[in-house]
């Protein structure tokens, strides 16, 4: 009888473990500066629905001139009289103990120079790694996420050395973090050309627990023409080999082809759109000339960017009935909207579902979402809040 009970218990334990491990990752980034936004755009930890995520990343901390962790905004992060973002994020685990809360270093504004200098010097690397260990343990984070944008590119100090140095840095971080049960992940480029410069794919894959591939920002106001922020597939209008690579499928397949483990790859999506002011309101197709970025929305306040929850003249992208005409690109499998000379490409529940199904078809680890704050987190546009994140969860888990 006791043997039978033990066997039954073991079987149920295995079933339970299988149900947990079989689920896909849903990695959610918290952009800490969104606590400063006004009105319905303001977002802080209290707005997070932790049930929708397996991992939450705090973005960002920085790299100081001494090559140690630098808190970029102490009032938001850990000041006694601030929102205490670190503490409250870790506190989300009280209602979901299996949740992993990690801290992310870097981001676009950090650049590449200081990271390149640190990675090239064994002594500086060790100073950095010790600082990361102390920091993650001091605040109770479950791991560390490195968002160096990008090795070998932009203002890199040692562009010819960065690929090897980056791989070495990750391997040393892994050796330091793993014995303490801490996770290591990185946000990496999904652009084929940039990724080929930046990464030793097999070495990066071996070192990381999760590879968050940023298959977005392929087009934007930094171009001189219209293009979608995150097409799933190429368009027949892509007339060069380089343009044909500027899509999520090409970016993910490049990582797979070059030796990355699919069981570690998280497919990255954004909850904002990239917008344009057309040079000619009658020419609205891909690659049409532009005057610049689209007019800023009230929350992000940046020309060329509109959150899924954000509006122009009171009309939010996510509203189905509006004065912005909706179009579906059946080649790229993504939508865009047009109003006069304003053009915005973005992801909606339809395109997110297709991307999540792609993740399943490729046996990838899951998806990464940048970021909470520009999904419809208040549920203003429909019957539920977080429609994009909820779509991911419905397909993956």
Catalogue the active-site residues: 149
CA–CA separation, 24 and 110 (whole Å): 30
Question: 55-63 and 69-70 as β-strands: parallel, antiparallel, unpaired?
Answer: antiparallel
CA–CA separation, 330 and 114 (whole Å): 42
User: Cis link prior to 150 (omega < 30° from 0)?
Assistant: yes
Q: For the chain, what is the total number of helices (H) and then of strands (E)?
A: 12, 17
- The token pair at 132 is 């990361």
Contacts of 249 (CB under 8 A, 6+ apart): 232, 233, 234, 358
Q: Nearest-CA neighbor of 131 among 165, 98, 171, 103?
A: 103
HSE at residue 140, side-chain half, CA atoms within 13 A, is 12
β strands within 249-374, DSSP E: 265-270, 272-278, 290-293, 305-307, 311-312, 315-316, 325-329, 334-339, 342-345, 366-370
At residue 327, what are phi and psi to the nearest 5 degrees? -130, 145
């Amino acid at each position: 009888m006791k043997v039978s009970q033990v066997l039954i218990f073991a079987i149920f334990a295995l079933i339970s473990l299988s149900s947990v491990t079989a689920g896909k990752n849903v990695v959610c980034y918290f952009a800490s500066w969104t606590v400063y936004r006004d009105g319905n755009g303001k977002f802080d930890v209290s707005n997070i629905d932790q049930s929708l995520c397996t991992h939450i990343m705090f973005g960002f901390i920085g790299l100081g001139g001494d090559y140690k962790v630098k808190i970029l905004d102490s009032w938001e992060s850990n000041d006694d009289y601030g929102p205490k973002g670190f503490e409250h994020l870790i506190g989300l685990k009280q209602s979901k103990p299996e949740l992993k809360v990690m801290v992310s270093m870097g981001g676009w504004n950090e650049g590449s120079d200081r990271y390149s200098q640190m990675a090239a010097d064994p002594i500086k690397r060790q100073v950095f790694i010790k600082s990361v260990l102390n920091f993650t343990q001091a605040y109770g984070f479950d791991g560390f996420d490195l968002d160096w944008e990008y090795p070998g590119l932009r203002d890199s100090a040692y562009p010819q050395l960065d690929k090897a140095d980056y791989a070495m840095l990750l391997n040393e971080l892994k050796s330091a973090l793993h014995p303490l049960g801490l996770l290591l992940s990185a946000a990496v480029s999904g652009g084929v050309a940039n990724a080929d410069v930046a990464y030793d794919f097999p070495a990066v894959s071996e070192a990381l627990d999760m590879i968050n591939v940023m298959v977005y920002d392929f087009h934007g106001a930094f171009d001189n023409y219209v293009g979608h922020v995150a097409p799933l597939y190429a368009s027949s209008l892509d007339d060069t080999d380089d343009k044909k690579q500027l899509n999520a499928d090409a970016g993910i397949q490049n990582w797979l082809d070059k030796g990355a483990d699919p069981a570690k790859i998280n497919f990255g999506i954004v909850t904002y759109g990239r917008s344009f002011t057309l040079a000619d309101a009658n020419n609205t197709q891909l690659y049409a000339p532009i005057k610049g970025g689209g007019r800023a929305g009230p929350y992000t306040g940046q020309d060329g960017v509109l959150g899924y929850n954000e509006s122009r003249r009171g009309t939010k992208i996510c509203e189905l009935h509006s004065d912005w005409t909706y179009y579906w690109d059946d080649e790229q499998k993504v939508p865009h909207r047009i109003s006069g000379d304003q053009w915005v490409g973005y992801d909606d529940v339809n395109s997110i579902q297709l991307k999540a199904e792609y993740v399943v078809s490729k046996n990838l680890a899951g998806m990464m979402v940048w970021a909470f704050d520009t999904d419809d987190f208040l549920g203003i546009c429909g019957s539920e809040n977080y429609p994009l994140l909820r779509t991911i969860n419905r397909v993956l888990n």
